[in-house]
């Protein structure tokens, strides 16, 4: 194809020309390796006709690989300098794909579905090399607000990848694991070394794959279920009877809801699936 991906020299040149000094607070580590971005695009399973949203496109490394698949990309970038340069980068490196690319200058946490609309459609996939400090909230916010999303492939700090993909009973199973599971089947999809980035970060990265699935069946709303989840993990060493006392109104009310949902009140939250949390919230609601 006529698309050329960014290598180490391209990234440095672009950064120098734009006078970009990568900031840690915005998690700016740019991928300088074509194999890595191609691998991400391949694992995302996207192609011609798909509308993909990319969060934090930076200098465009991953963006170009996504365009290479034939997909249409609507990117969300918080840094004005980077957002402004992206159309020119796409025009230079992927001239035939320019009409399939647009960028929204915004904090991804503030974006709503209508801003991501292209030709009357909203994205069905999210692909991103996420800024590490906001990866989880950005992901959960998007999943909540863009209900057309069916799949995702994100690169995050390895530790965050483990937490997102954790199963009940795993040591790192917690709030992000349960909330992500509300929307999708989540699994680890490989590791990424530090050397593919500039500047080289001090943590390893991991890939996480999201496959949309029907949300748990329950009479409780998502907000009600998530409040129960937050309460359970706020005091994760306590039994659910104790941890959910404040949420339910009293230890006895918590115990009643748990029993009605078929859960031993002496269990801890780290053993419950998202469906079980939904059952507890529904039982409490009555």
| Contact positions vs ligand SAM (CB under 6 A) | 26-31, 55-59, 61-62, 76-79, 82, 107-109, 129, 131, 134
How, if at all, do strands 101-105 and 30-31 pair?
Answer: unpaired
Could you tell me the two tokens for 250? 């009293």
How far is 56 from 76, CA to CA, in rounded Å?
6
Q: 77: annotated binding-site residue?
A: yes
Give me the least distance between CB of 68 and ligand SAM, in Å please: 14
Could you tell me the two tokens for 225? 């279920």
Peptide bond into 199 cis (omega under 30): yes
Q: 31: annotated binding-site residue?
A: yes
How far is 281 from 263, CA to CA, in rounded Å?
12
Q: 47: annotated binding-site residue?
A: no
Give me the least distance between CB of 134 and ligand SAM, in Å please: 5
Length of the chain: 286
Nearer to ligand SAM, 18 or 227 (CB): 18
Ranked by CB distance to ligand SAM, the top (closest) residue is 56
Other CB atoms within 10 A of residue 266 CB: 11
How far is 219 from 221, CA to CA, in rounded Å?
7
Give me the least distance between CB of 104 and ligand SAM, in Å please: 9
Q: 19: annotated binding-site residue?
A: no
Give me the least distance between CB of 55 and ligand SAM, in Å please: 6
Nearer to ligand SAM, 83 or 257 (CB): 83
Give me the least distance between CB of 28 and ligand SAM, in Å please: 5
Q: What is the CA radius of gyration of the chain?
A: 21
Nearer to ligand SAM, 69 or 129 (CB): 129
How far is 185 from 181, CA to CA, in rounded Å?
6
Nearer to ligand SAM, 26 or 118 (CB): 26
SS3 81: helix
Nearer to ligand SAM, 55 or 160 (CB): 55
Annotated binding site: 29, 31, 56, 77, 107, 129
Annotated binding site for S-adenosyl-L-methionine: 29, 31, 56, 77, 107, 129
């Amino acid at each position: 194809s006529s698309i050329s991906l960014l290598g180490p020299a391209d990234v440095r040149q672009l950064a120098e020309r734009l006078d970009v000094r990568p900031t840690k607070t915005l998690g700016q580590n740019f991928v300088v390796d074509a194999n890595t971005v191609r691998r991400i695009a391949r694992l995302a399973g996207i192609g011609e006709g798909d509308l993909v949203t990319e969060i934090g496109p930076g200098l465009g490394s991953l963006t170009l690989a996504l365009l290479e698949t034939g997909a249409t990309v609507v990117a969300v970038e918080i840094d004005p300098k980077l957002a402004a340069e992206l159309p020119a980068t796409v025009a230079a490196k992927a001239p035939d794909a320019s009409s399939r690319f647009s960028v929204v200058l915004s904090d991804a946490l503030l974006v709503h579905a209508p801003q991501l609309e292209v030709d009357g459609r909203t994205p069905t996939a999210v692909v991103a090399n996420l800024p590490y400090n906001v990866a989880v909230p950005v992901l959960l916010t998007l999943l909540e607000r863009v209900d057309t999303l069916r799949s995702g492939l994100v690169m995050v700090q390895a530790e965050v990848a483990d937490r997102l993909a954790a199963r009940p009973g795993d040591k790192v199973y917690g709030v992000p694991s349960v909330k992500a599971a509300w929307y999708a089947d989540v699994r680890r999809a490989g590791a990424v070394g530090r050397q593919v980035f500039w500047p080289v970060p001090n943590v390893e990265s991991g890939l996480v794959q999201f496959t949309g699935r029907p949300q748990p069946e329950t009479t409780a709303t998502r907000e009600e279920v998530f409040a129960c989840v937050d309460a359970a993990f706020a005091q994760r060493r306590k039994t659910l009877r104790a941890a959910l006392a404040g949420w339910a109104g009293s230890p006895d009310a918590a115990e009643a809801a748990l029993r009605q949902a078929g859960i031993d009140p002496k269990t801890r939250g780290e053993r419950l699936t998202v469906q079980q949390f939904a059952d507890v919230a529904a039982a409490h609601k009555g």
